[in-house]
A and B are shown apart, each in its own frame.
Chain A
């Protein structure tokens, strides 16, 4: 059979090809593949499949350098989600994904559908979602447009996750002008299943039925996948109708129905219809199974009359899935869906002939030979070269930055840093997320360095966290990539969990620019270094390129989602000091480093200097120490030093729990010769502030792992104040002053405009 155009199809012209985002070379490749001119439907299919979002055509060769294997990895990259074993027959499926461009255009729906998509990726593996995390990057809160985006994104995430009954337990949020025109919205989902419930999205078995399940198909978000692969410009405004609307209620029904369907054994494979909808889900399932497929678009349940095959294939209507059911079991599948008031329709079947064929009734509208539609796309090895401007920034002597007059009192600097939106309490955000539903949350937002969620029916708990300091990656992508992994692992280990594996979301600019591809290559290289050193393989993730607006590219932001395991949930450790009189111990060593710090950025408006060094062997030793300390119940609290350095870490453990603040009396004379601001606010890596009732035992454990450790002070009553001595100048602060700086900053910033105001003018943010 051969495909022929439908009546009324546009004629294929170079302009139409360009409009579909294909280069002339790519178009010629398509013609060679077909040995004829493609139909309009075929052009649409290939435009979606060969978009960066689906094909990874610029990133795949670099991604292949990442470690992906360990004895506990059950499913690595290439599936809906990665899966690891946590012992006793239990497994964890998890993945992170971006929804940056949709959220920039329509923050509420963009973020909501991002959450919906990542949930489907996890439950289509057979896992029940037990936790959600979000990694968000915005511009400055001084900009009304940014406040509008923050309000919309947070409400979109909350409304979707809350309705689904999946607790949103952790994440990370940073603010920097670099994200002004192009916010990052990365959502991560973690699910739990029995190992024997694992199902893969691999079409198999000639004669098996292909079924469209869930919501009906409308004209939503057509070409969203290729949209996600373009720079955001003023024209994006005109592309608005592409944005999809989420329906968490239908998704909740789909979740329950899917898990029931998988348990029933009636289906062989399931895949989410996400970006590029029916096209990519069917092509990817066929490719994994190395089989042919035939689909009839007239059989797809639609929401609107008169939809063309092109529209049906490329629709990104939400809450839909593609199911491959055993031959003859379609009635059983339909019955399960019907119980949940959902529809399921047979739209095609797995065929022996190695082709990808789409019919509209009897008319073949698309037919591709072979079963490798996605990986037959061209791959690119772009030029990579570091920007000399960034080299110059990195080499700048940041110790020469003059102190501000107010800094003569280090308490002023500390209070000001605690009010930096990147550092300040995120309670304004997390209060909008249900973090306790399912009644398994041991530590939710703000309670520990990573969220801790009990695995029901076992003694185990999972710790999970997202991290990435884009400023580090910007100033030194190799080191920044390493730190993103090391910090996420350290955060997970602070709770007492052993870090197990990573999912990543690689947010970068336009890879065709050599300085951007350099960042990508180096940052992924750094991640790989750290993943190997820490034994945390990458099990999947997502690449989001072209994160640019007229003001330039975002900071390169390879967000890490880390999952770790605590064998005994009652041993989990929080980040707040517990008892007066406890000793405060610093693991790791302060250094003279000040580059790339939040201090320089927030206090001085300077983004320069080299990020702190990352000693991976040292990081591993700190992680081992933390795991042993928690396992032997020696820790009252543990909190790592990150943005804002040692002084901020000491303060966060004192005021993080607003209802039960503590004071401290700390002496840093051991390192008194370091410049004061490097000592207090420098961001040297591999450091953790712990509190303990048994300092000697803690020091002994650290010693066995070769980790430098020293008692630096005691936890006191809040009324005794917050005191750090031993540096060039002493720091004395009221605990209540620090607490107000930390807790009131974000609500005050957001109060400046109603969070739910609809001021839709994307261009305003882009030109600011």
Chain B
């Protein structure tokens, strides 16, 4: 078994209202960052776990996301990185 550090982005599901992202977008516009098209605000999680290999570590974190870390009603998640650590 190896230790892995798995990073996950949890973001509001595409198409679902993201009030926080909307407010931040408008604030950036008012500060002069006119080029900003869209902002989405989510969570970044770093999970230290042991697994047989990288694929198993990722599969296990996916299961965690589906069960607990992301709200399947309103959020999507993506595995940002899986590194041995």
Contact = CB atoms under 8 A, between A and B. Distances in A.
* Touch A–B, Cβ below 8 Å: yes
Interface of A: 105-106, 109, 215, 218-220, 240-241, 243-250, 303-304, 317-318, 341, 757-760
B73 A247 contact: no
A219 B19 contact: no
- Most chain A beta carbons < 10 A, residue from B22, B69, B72, B74: B74
B17 interface: yes
- Most chain A beta carbons < 10 A, residue from B19, B69, B70, B71: B19
B23 interface: yes
B67 A245 contact: no
A758 B19 contact: no
B37 to A, nearest CB: 13
A105 B17 contact: no
Given A215-B17, A240-B72, 8 more contacts: A106-B74, A218-B16, A220-B16, A241-B16, A245-B12, A245-B18, A758-B69, A760-B71
A341 B27 CA distance: 11
A759 B73 contact: no
A247 B68 contact: no
Contact of A758 (B16, B18, B26, B70): B70
Nearest to B75: A758
15 contacts: A105-B73, A218-B15, A218-B16, A219-B15, A240-B73, A241-B16, A245-B18, A246-B19, A247-B19, A248-B19, A249-B23, A303-B17, A317-B17, A760-B71, A760-B73
Contacts of B72: 240, 760
Interface string B62-83: 0000011111111000000000
Contact of A245 (B19, B23, B70): B19
B17 A245 contact: yes
A224 to B, nearest CB: 13
B77 to A, nearest CB: 12
Contacts of A759: 67-68
A119 B32 CA distance: 34
Q: What 7 pairs across the A-B complex have the smallest Cβ distances?
A: A247-B19, A245-B17, A106-B73, A240-B73, A758-B71, A760-B72, A758-B68
A248 B17 CA distance: 12
Interface of B: 12, 15-19, 22-23, 26, 67-74
Contacts of B17: 215, 218, 220, 244-245, 247, 303, 317-318
Contacts of A250: 19
Contacts of A317: 17
- Most chain A beta carbons < 10 A, residue from B15, B17, B72: B17
B9 to A, nearest CB: 16
B74 A109 contact: yes
A426 B83 CA distance: 47
A98 B72 CA distance: 24
Nearest to A240: B73
B8 to A, nearest CB: 14
Contact of A249 (B12, B15, B19): B19
Contacts of A215: 17
A325 B61 CA distance: 53
Contacts of A218: 15-17
Contacts of B68: 757-759
A117 to B, nearest CB: 15
B15 A245 contact: no
A240 B76 CA distance: 13
Contacts of B22: 247
Given A109-B73, A243-B74, A760-B73, A304 B15 contact: yes
Nearest to A318: B17
A526 to B, nearest CB: 38
Nearest to A250: B19
Nearest to B22: A247
A240 B16 CA distance: 12
B15 A243 contact: no
Contacts of A244: 17
A240 B71 CA distance: 11
Contacts of A240: 72-73
Contacts of A248: 19
Nearest to B72: A760
A20 to B, nearest CB: 22
A304 B38 CA distance: 12
